[in-house]
Amino acid sequence: MADSMTQPSRNRASTGDDRPIGQPIDRVDGPLKVAGRATYAYEQTLGGTPAYGYIRGAAIARGRIAAIDTSAAERAPGVLFVMTHRNAPAQTAFGPSVTPTVPEAFTRARPMLANDRVRYYDEPVALVVAETFEAARAAADLIEVRYARESGVFDLHTHLDDAYAPIRTNAGFETDSAVGDFMGAFSRAAVKVDATYRTPYEHHNPMEPHATLAVWSGDEVTIHTSAQTLANYQAGLANTLGMPPERVRIVSPFIGGGFGSKLIVHADTVLAALAARVLARPVKIALTRQQMFANAGYRAEMIQQVRLGADPDGRLIAMGHDVHSATSRFEEFCEQTAVFARSLYAAPNRLTRHRLVGVDLNRGEWMRSPGEAPGMLAFECAMDELAERLGLDPIELRIRNEPSEDPERGVPFSTRNLVDCMREGARRFGWERRNPQPGCIREGRQLIGYGMAAAIRPNYIGATTARVAIDADGQVTAQLDMTDIGTGTYTILTQIAAESLGVPLSAVTVELGDSRFPRTSGSGGSWGAASTGSAIHRACAALKTRILEAARSNESSPLYGMDLAEASFVGGEVLVGERSENLADLIRRIAPEGIDAEGTVASVRETESYAAYSQHSYGAHFAEVAVDCDTGEIRMRRMLAVIGAGRILNAKTARSQILGGMTWGIGAALMEESVLDSRHGHFVNHDLAEYHVPVNGDVQDMQAVFLEEHDDKANPLGAKGLGELGVCGAGAAIANAVYNATGVRVREFPVTLDKLLPELPMVAI
């Protein structure tokens, strides 16, 4: 990776800085991880010697199990138990296919091996549990299954006539929106773009596969797993097993990436819990990489029509974004692909629509930047096409369509610095060097191109409670059922607690990943930092109030009876006027058992500020690519993101989040595609050798810059979600750069060399 991505930095705050928020603090969990001492789910050994499960998946995409013979597997060495639909313990039935309310999708029962139906390719048809993983896998191979195959629907393109409108999109947005008269205005527009883009199936592929160790004790089960959102896992498993959630404990302190694929329970968790109960012994199950392609969610294929109509000055008079997406026939998932467009640019006549086509796949799931990732890939390319048609610079086009208030909700923006981001980015990137005429800049055999795109993402807050306690040694412990999926949550929460209480970072321990801790939003939707950070901030405020209350009312307190309204907590001391008391000494006197307090934030939709303001984070992406004129190979040269996402809590982890998102942009623009074979209904390239994600060599000079702001409408911290913002628009900037380099507009993602080659002229040697 380029040097610019690995600037070393010192942990300044640990050397006494009492304003740690915002500092580029190293990850507090970093040493554990690099030393291999962070224990991940599959490595857990709690609860005694575990047995190992291996899942056997269906060889067909739709039909029925006509016969299943497990006798050879049962006789195989080391095998303890073989579970199929014939002997699986009773579970709650799956329920209806449409899940109009969001909570239901997260928490519904997901029974496994429930009956003889096969609903998708590689759906579990049997589980073998054995003394070792190897024995289980070998035995799983001995199971003989005969299927009654039925034909399925897999092709989005040929089934567009069957499309239907869902009740809502993911995250509870309206399916359609319409303002003014889109059709009329579009047909009258002087300059138009009407372009259809295809975005492919994609898979999350976190480094750590989905894995669970289930340990029963009486009628309570502890699930060591890799989860982003413990509450969902707890509710989902409890609902599946038909037991009270209090008897399900989820533990997930370290997670090797999730990207939205670990928001709900999957086969590993449900089957491990079932088998461990039957065997009265801990059971471990992990999905294999190949199994993850069928059993752990995906982003659906979409066909997106973007229609933009402008007057000759480049002011949009009509804006339409129509999305057709594939969805599982047995459980609907509608990515909110066109929703961002409702807030991005001004235009008096507007139309956004989401339609679904049912296919015989497992359910789609939330994948990094659901909605914006595929939606902005299409829409921000269409803006580039419009700019060219107008003869306008793409940044200028966007500036001309900057709205003064949210164009569909009619409320003011809390903060919005998109224009600043674009201008600052243009300056830093050397945008003026871009030649608006595509295909003109050649260095040796390389065609060079520049592209840009805007970024926007809604700010979400999930209901969250955090508990903070201080003991007589002045040590602070924060507990909440939040997760750190590699984003830096442990670190930023440590910073917030340390700053709020005026104690050094070393005095704070943040404990995450246990459903026994107070309930949080979990990690998802880039809302973790804002939600849990705000809750910690409030918990610390409540704790300070309690400490001062005790200090004032406790006779053994040195501050007994004083007016403490102006007291502050700084540098491990409590300051009252000229007086300074050591915080630990004070606690020892007034509360030798320690003191704790809780803090809470409500879901964003329940706040007045959400109704009154349009809250988003913004950014501008810039990309420079080189395209080989002989082979069409596309290689990144530079990327820059300028980001406005409220207050930055940790400059280092924030930057890492944005760089990671931009890397996803490279994948989406140039590489990632799960190819669905419509004859067999399976993802053909279901491993990391053939499902390409960017490798270090693909990530060259990459910069992220923050325009700091404080969004006081968003939450008490003034911070907004940012992780996924790095993805939004990043791919479009790259695709636009490829166009600028070559003059070839590829509207089918990913943009690979085979799609460029037919249009690339032979260049004399």
Partner 1 sequence: MQPFSYERAEEVRRAVAAVAVNPQARFISGGTNLLDLMKLGIERPTDVIDISRLPLDRIEAAEEGGLRIGAQVRNSDLAADPRVRARYPVLAQALLAGASGQIRNKASTAGNLLQRTRCYYFYDRNMPCNKREPGSGCAALEGLNRMHAVLGGSDACIAVHPSDMAVAMTALGARVETLSPSGDTRTIPITELHRLPGAEPHVETTLEHGEMIMAVTLPPPPAGRQIYRKVRDRASYAFALVSVAAIVAVSNGQVRSARIALGGVAPKPWRAVNAELALAGAPATERTYTQAADAALAGARGYGGNDFKIPLARRTLRYTLAAAGELV
Nearer to partner 1, 43 or 690 (CB): 690
* C-alpha closest to that of 146 among 35, 38, 249, 63: 63
Task: Decide whether 10 or 635 has the Cβ nearer to partner 1.
Answer: 635
Tabulate helix, strand, coil % of the chain (nearest 5): 30, 25, 45
Pick 12 or 635: Cβ nearer partner 1: 635
> What is the C-alpha separation between 293 and 206, in angstroms, rounded?
11
Closer CB to partner 1, 607 or 752, in the complex = 752
Looking up tokens 């003011």 gives: 412
Could you give the maximum distance between any two Cα atoms of the chain, in Å? Answer: 92
Question: HEC states along 199-229?
Answer: ECCECCCCCCCCEEEEEEECCEEEEEECCCC
- Burial pattern 105-116, b for ≥16 Cβ within 10 A else e, equals bbbbbbbbbbeb
Residue 330 has what DSSP assignment? S
Phi, psi at residue 193, to the nearest 5°?
-130, 130
User: Which residues form the interface with partner 1 (CB under 8 A)?
Assistant: 59-60, 77, 134, 137-138, 141, 290, 445, 630-633, 635, 670-671, 675, 677, 679-680, 682, 684-687, 689-690, 692, 694-698, 752-754, 757-758, 762, 764-765
Residue type (1 letter), 111: P
Nearer to partner 1, 138 or 587 (CB): 138
Considering the complex, what minimum distance in angstroms separates the CB of residue 449 from partner 1? Answer: 17
In sequence order, the 6+-apart residues with CB closer than 8 A to the CB of 362 are 119, 120, 123, 294, 295, 297, 298, 328
Query: In terms of CB distance, is 120 or 186 closer to partner 1?
Result: 120
Tell me the C-alpha distance between 223 and 245, whole Å.
Answer: 12
Shortest separation between residue 364's beta carbon and partner 1, angstroms: 21
What is the side-by-side strand order in the sheet with 573-576?
568-570, 573-576, 579-582
607 versus 685: smaller Cβ distance to partner 1: 685
Output DSSP code: residue 301.
Answer: P
Query: Minimum distance between the CB of residue 628 and partner 1, rounded to whole angstroms?
Result: 8
d(CA 18, CA 501): 10
Cβ pair 69, 144 in contact under 8 A = yes
Strand-pair partners of 593:
none
Q: Where are the alpha helices (DSSP H) in 141-206?
A: 182-188
CB of 21: closest distance to partner 1 in angstroms? Answer: 37
Nearer to partner 1, 280 or 762 (CB): 762
Closer CB to partner 1, 421 or 626, in the complex: 626
Q: Which residues carry out catalysis? A: 724
Question: Backbone phi, then psi, for 63, in 5-degree steps?
Answer: 150, -145
Q: Using the minimum distance from each CB to partner 1, give the nearer residue, 510 or 702.
A: 702
| Residue with the two structure tokens 């610019």 | 4
Q: Residue ranges of the alpha helices (H) in 613-723?
A: 651-666
Classify each residue of 669-693 as buried b or exposed e, where b means 16 or more C-beta atoms within 10 Å of its C-beta.
bbbbbbebebeebbbebbeeeebbb
Strands (E), 506-594: 508-511, 568-570, 573-576, 579-582
Closest contact distance (angstroms) between CB of 521 and partner 1 is 35
Q: Across the strands, what pairs with 465? A: 600
Nearer to partner 1, 137 or 389 (CB): 137
Cβ neighbourhood burial of 146 (10 Å; 0-12, 13-18, 19+): exposed
Task: For residue 477, report the phi and psi dihedrals to the nearest 5 degrees.
Answer: -125, 125
CA 489 to each of CA 529, 542, 650, 706: distance values in angstroms, whole numbers, following the listed order: 7, 21, 10, 19
User: What gap in Å lies between CA 287 and CA 742, rounded to an integer?
Assistant: 42
CB of 655 to partner 1, least distance (A): 22
Q: What is the dihedral of CA 101, 106, 109, 113, to 10 degrees?
A: 120
Angle between helices 583-590 and 528-553 (to 10 degrees): 60
